[in-house]
Structure 1
């Protein structure tokens, strides 16, 4: 009897049949998470993750493993590549010099602090790097983008999931708690928008918090936040070079970064029609939803709990430190 071919050498149709059950289940969980988010106002990524936890026991089934693994790695990279469609140079030019100064000072400080504090807490360096990028740039999107560029097997999935869960919770708390703080600090609309856009993790959360203050504050918060998101381009490219320097072989080249840069350039030059751009941004969001559902299936809640208090402490201290840094910059810079 002939031995079965390895999956990588099997005919395309056979590979599709092998991937289908796992991919289909992850897609259904992503759809369910999106549906619940629309009806209950909770973050879709968090709901997809929780649904994935609920099916963790099924992820070990042989017929699901290939498809779930495909979603956890390959679909993630496609989603990160498509993120380039939401960022453009016009967003950087529109925000002016003041948000640029705040972002260029606070983002490197936060990532550097993450590496130092993570070392002091005894956390793996790559875990600290992912956590620092999540706090400094754009929450879950930055975490999964940095994780995607890491060499395979260098970061445990349960650690990435721990960052995703905690940074989502902290972002929600910041969206509710920071707008009243701007009033206590006596900030005007511009200062409030700068503060909220430079400290809250998710784009939607930062914009929502800004518009809770005023329309002007919401506009500034959105632009400042998008400027932070734009820094994801050079960060991911730099990490792709540094972390893979000295790696043997070429099979792990992060090809998806080329797509990321190409879409960023096309969007900056106005080459993407509005309809196509919206389609690509939506496709990116769906890829990330499917990926998060797959990661949830591959991680048990017990594994997350065994990480202890240190990962959450790292994210809390980084978030507080980022807020204090921005407050200090606003006290030093001339703000209307």
Structure 2
């Protein structure tokens, strides 16, 4: 073993040791939820999420935090990228340009409403902007990306925390509330998937909510949600230019979208062998289950309430209006 290779292997081993406790806990909860789902005929994603709620107090333990964070971000992105293996152009043909029209209508409306509502509530403009983008596009990732291009000192860390915690909690609650609500209102699986993909904040939450209804609803929800995620990069660049910051900021490009698109194209062209496709779909499902456990453990109602009622009101009203905009856009473009 060379002297140059030894430090790298040691760093790799240290990273594994640091992530192992949290990852192991998430995997155990995912396995437990899957076992219960098979015996009680209940959606596994829902049961894993509820088990995560039950272990939320463990998320504060420094030994498991790195692994939980890893599962809620990196494992999520792997799972979403691999979802491309189960989707093809036939799903797009079902809905045509409708998801794009709905997304391009709802995203700017939501951001505009957040800015106006935040001003009325007496919140800083930058907090309202971050909250609006987080709700309109992709939750925590969007909030952090936008905060990175804001001028230094324009947004306090505690206000960013209020947005991060708030969108996580509300996104998780929407997973539980929206699917049965849309089914009760008589929306088809395709329509419900489109609305869920438009109105739920996080990628995993939108996909999970869709798959609680059906596979087709989950596929459409994921496709629609990824359209919203794709708007993050141009929006962050635009905000950086408008705010005239001297440096671009440390934003994170959603590379998992490229993996999703590559597998989507391969599957559409019929170039994915069936055994490989089935294996990738199974891995993707497992990744989403592990992510659900992590999201459940990271949900803290207490941390949200500690920020006061104004940030909660801003996020809650904006989130509800996003669903209203989605329903209105769907009715408008299908009439």
Work out the CA distance in 2 between the residues paired with 1:260 and 1:279: 15
Specify whether residues 124 and 41 from structure 1 end up closer, same or farther in structure 2 by C-alpha distance, changes over 3 A only: farther
Confirm or deny that 1:161 pairs with 2:185: no
- Give the match's secondary structure for 1:272: coil
Confirm or deny that 1:315 pairs with 2:308: no
Confirm or deny that 1:16 pairs with 2:16: yes
Equivalent in the alignment of 2:151: none
Of 93, 111, 116 in structure 1, the residue corresponding to residue 112 of structure 2 is 116
Equivalent in the alignment of 2:30: 30
Work out the CA distance in 2 between the residues paired with 1:203 and 1:61: 32
Alignment of 1:1-336 (within 5 A): 10-40=10-40, 42-93=42-93, 95=94, 99-122=95-118, 124-133=128-137, 157-179=164-186, 195-196=191-192, 198-201=194-197, 202-204=209-211, 207=214, 222=216, 226=219, 229-243=222-236, 247-248=248-249, 252-306=252-306, 308-331=312-335
- Give the match's secondary structure for 1:116: helix
* Cα shift readout 1:222-277 (whole Å, capped 9, x = no counterpart): 48x75564344554344235436754569x45433332222222222222123322
Specify whether residues 34 and 115 from structure 1 end up closer, same or farther in structure 2 by C-alpha distance, changes over 3 A only: farther
* Cα shift readout 1:203-222 (whole Å, capped 9, x = no counterpart): 345658xxxxxxxxxxxxx4
Structure 1 unmatched runs, 5+ = 1-6, 134-141, 183-191, 209-221, 332-336
- Give the match's secondary structure for 1:308: helix
TM-score when normalising by structure 1 = 0.69
Compute the RMSD of aligned alpha carbons.
Answer: 3.7
Contact 2:43–2:212 at 8 Å: present in 1 too? no
Work out the CA distance in 2 between the residues paired with 1:11 and 1:258: 28
Contact 2:166–2:312 at 8 Å: present in 1 too? no
TM-score when normalising by structure 2 = 0.69
Deviation at 1:18, TM superposition (A): 2.3
Deviation at 1:330, TM superposition (A): 3.5
* Cα shift readout 1:130-166 (whole Å, capped 9, x = no counterpart): 4334xxxxxxxx6588689878897754234223223
Deviation at 1:45, TM superposition (A): 3.5
Deviation at 1:177, TM superposition (A): 1.6
Work out the CA distance in 2 between the residues paired with 1:144 and 1:80: 16
Contact 1:81–1:256 at 8 Å: present in 2 too? yes
- Give the match's secondary structure for 1:11: helix
Work out the CA distance in 2 between the residues paired with 1:281 and 1:91: 16
Work out the CA distance in 2 between the residues paired with 1:283 and 1:161: 24
Structure 2 unmatched runs, 5+ = 1-6, 119-126, 149-156, 198-208, 241-246
Deviation at 1:24, TM superposition (A): 0.4
Contact 2:115–2:129 at 8 Å: present in 1 too? yes
